Structure 1
């Protein structure tokens, strides 16, 4: 699973420090582009995500436009990291800064489609997509599976093993290993999901928004 960091708060690497210094000096300077790209490389290598930095990079691409092919790879990397950060809104925010020219690139188009599929919870469909670019990024599939498991955990108390296996596109043995780390237990052909605030039945609450004058009028009518 990806770890979230912020160059402004807890990221202490050389690349993050350089970005922080330049943002403090002039956050709109074109030289920040190269620093953010170097920081993106570091995020990929170390399997971390800095949402703010990556969105800043996309914004600077719109301010200092060049030929789309000059930064197609970088935009695709930012989108892939966005998928790894789901259910964060980072991916959605990134899509708003992908120009029509960039959307002609196959890797970018594939990643945008993958985002739609994942956010629609069409997980079995996701595994049929051909995403060679994204799969080269360390931790990509693991992060996607973590998102899928978190989604299942929010909507199920008990879930069929076969269903989970299909959603994750993994063998029964691999699935068992993953869910054990989350504290799920086995019951016959199902998994019992660890209770959380989302998957528990909630008592119905009735809130009446009635003015006292309305109640008084009703009492008077009934008293006649």
Structure 2
């Protein structure tokens, strides 16, 4: 079982057991598309559903932000912030980067919105933990604690969940295909004509 629970990426257009909200969105999508102002309320309801279910529907959330730009009077700062938080929780997807281009600085810089979405810290820590897993074969315990902002007990729990070991003040991370140095094989293709040119030069 992973140390932290990540969000599930979903798509309302391909899900097999669609919720009532997803069915509404699919009907709008297959009709005029997301052009009408009335779709905003459905997308907002779907965003609330994602928050409750720990899922992220990237296309639907970006569609909501686009509609906020088209119909500025409907823009809701709380919903925009939740989309941003969901974007961070979906890393390493580029969803967050794309979403920030549609937002004013006043919303981007308000850190309080992160606390409104359950599982935010877990998702961010899961992303950081995966980056450490891929880039390190060993890491100092203090550095590890600082990167994840966790306690000594939480460090011990993560080490146990990952089947890592601790030697002194260093965490030994299990070998994987990403965190091991590998020799690069360099192959050069030499044409027969090139060899003949060298022989001709040396025989002069």
Would the TM-score normalized by the shorter structure come out above 0.5?
A: yes
- The aligned runs of 1:32-43 (5 Å cut-off) are 32-43=39-50
Q: 1:96 aligns with which of 78, 101, 106?
A: 101
Q: 2:34 aligns with which of 9, 28, 40?
A: 28
Do the aligned partners of residues 197 and 26 (structure 1) sit closer, same or farther apart at CA in structure 2, a change above 3 Å counting?
farther
Does residue 45 in structure 1 map to residue 52 in structure 2?
yes
Q: How much does 1:142 deviate?
A: 0.7
Which secondary structure does the structure 2 equivalent of 1:26 belong to?
Answer: coil
More relative contact order, 1 or 2 (CA 8 Å, 6+ apart)? 2
Match of 1:3 in 2: 8
Q: How much does 1:151 deviate?
A: 1.0
Q: Deviations over 1:18-72 (max 9, x none)?
A: 21221111213322211111000111112111111111111222233337xx422
The answer to whether the Cα contact below 8 Å between 2:9 and 2:55 also exists between their aligned partners in 1 is yes
Does residue 108 in structure 1 map to residue 108 in structure 2?
yes
The answer to whether the Cα contact below 8 Å between 2:43 and 2:60 also exists between their aligned partners in 1 is yes
- The aligned runs of 1:75-86 (5 Å cut-off) are 75-86=80-91
The answer to whether the Cα contact below 8 Å between 2:100 and 2:108 also exists between their aligned partners in 1 is no
Match of 1:87 in 2: 92
The answer to whether the Cα contact below 8 Å between 2:82 and 2:116 also exists between their aligned partners in 1 is no
- Provide the rounded CA distance (Å) in 2 between the counterparts of 1:187 and 1:20: 54
Do the aligned partners of residues 148 and 223 (structure 1) sit closer, same or farther apart at CA in structure 2, a change above 3 Å counting?
same
| TM-score where L is the length of structure 2 | 0.87
- Provide the rounded CA distance (Å) in 2 between the counterparts of 1:210 and 1:87: 41
Over alpha carbons, which structure has the higher Rg?
A: 2
Do the aligned partners of residues 12 and 203 (structure 1) sit closer, same or farther apart at CA in structure 2, a change above 3 Å counting?
same
The answer to whether the Cα contact below 8 Å between 2:65 and 2:80 also exists between their aligned partners in 1 is yes
Match of 1:19 in 2: 25
Structure 1 spans left out of the alignment, 5+ residues = 111-130
How many residues were matched structurally? 197
- Provide the rounded CA distance (Å) in 2 between the counterparts of 1:189 and 1:163: 10
Which secondary structure does the structure 1 equivalent of 2:187 belong to?
Answer: coil
Q: How much does 1:209 deviate?
A: 5.1
Which secondary structure does the structure 1 equivalent of 2:24 belong to?
Answer: helix
Do the aligned partners of residues 66 and 212 (structure 1) sit closer, same or farther apart at CA in structure 2, a change above 3 Å counting?
farther
Do the aligned partners of residues 220 and 200 (structure 1) sit closer, same or farther apart at CA in structure 2, a change above 3 Å counting?
same
Match of 2:163 in 1: 183
- Provide the rounded CA distance (Å) in 1 between the counterparts of 2:76 and 2:161: 39
Match of 1:123 in 2: none
Do the aligned partners of residues 51 and 184 (structure 1) sit closer, same or farther apart at CA in structure 2, a change above 3 Å counting?
farther
Match of 2:3 in 1: none
Q: 1:150 aligns with which of 111, 130, 134?
A: 130
Aligned-pair Cα RMSD in Å: 2.0
